[in-house]
Amino acid sequence: MAVGKPEVLKWLEVLQQVYAENRQWLTELDSAIGDADHGINMDRGFTAVKAELAAHPPSEIRSVFQSVATALIRHVGGAAGPLYGTFFLRAAAACPRKTEIEAADVVALFQAGIKGIEQRGKAVGGDKTMLDALLPALDAMRKGLENGCSLAAILDAGAVAAHAGMLATVAMQAHKGRASYMGARSIGHQDPGATSSYLLLKAAADTWRS
């Protein structure tokens, strides 16, 4: 399956709905180890994305991702805005002049976006951050691509790995962000950023299934 601009826009539409529906859950997770605003911020950010894309329809996939990045950086508070904004900005750079993206392109844009988050956040796997969902997902997607799997299978594998990584953050002690101030008391709580990252991947898998 090739993913065109309509499918990319559909993914973002679904993401807006997903973050609106999970606003309370993400905020509750963040209330335990953060500022209690992650769900609020993700909902606000992707509502702004929806409005931006409706007001200024992008001409190509790259400009879609650029518009998303701009809206998130402008409207999302805390670390989430710059980190997710960087993800979409790097994703845009990974698919220049593309009217459709194939499985290899999708993996490449996720790889570029996740690399951007690593560089911006200065975090590594095991720090109890969104990377603990994203890095295992990227590994799974790369393996799927190497094995010649379909895009749907690649994204499903990524979502499954992200879900496992998200759950694994419960046992971790935070070493980055506000949660790190809690020290050992951060153990026992699921990371909200890893959770919103899982939701992002799950939405892609669900939207680009056919």
Q: Tens of pLDDT along 40-93?
A: 999 999 999 999 999 999 999 999 999 999 999 999 978 899 999 999 999 999
- Mean predicted confidence (pLDDT) in 20-49: 96
Is a pLDDT exceeding 80 seen at residue 19?
yes
For 128-168, the DSSP string reads: SSTHHHHHHHHHHHHHHHHTT--HHHHHHHHHHHHHHHHHH
Among residues of the chain, what percentage have pLDDT more than 90?
A: 90
Closest of 201, 200, 204 to residue 46, by C-alpha: 200
To which H or E segment does residue 87 belong?
Answer: helix 80-93
Q: Which two tokens stand for residue 205?
A: 């898998």
Whole-number pLDDT of residue 11: 98
Q: Which two tokens stand for residue 208?
A: 């680009």
Q: Tens of pLDDT along 176-200?
A: 988 888 999 999 999 999 999 999 9
Beta bridge partners of 101: 3
Q: How far apart are CA 174 and CA 96, in angstroms?
A: 36
CA atoms within 13 A of residue 147's CA, in its CB half-sphere: 12
- Residue 37 DSSP class: -
Whole-number pLDDT of residue 39: 95
Residues in Cβ contact with 137 at an 8 Å cutoff, skipping those fewer than 6 apart: 110, 158, 159, 161, 162, 165, 197, 201
Question: Which domains, and CATH codes, for the chain?
Answer: 3-207 (1.25.40.340)
Closest of 34, 91, 37 to residue 64, by C-alpha: 91
Whole-number pLDDT of residue 98: 86
Whole-number pLDDT of residue 210: 61
Contact 130, 197 (CB under 8 A): yes
Q: Tens of pLDDT along 150-165?
A: 999 999 999 999 999 9
Is a pLDDT exceeding 90 seen at residue 209?
no
Torsion of CA 62, 85, 152, 39, to 10 degrees: -140
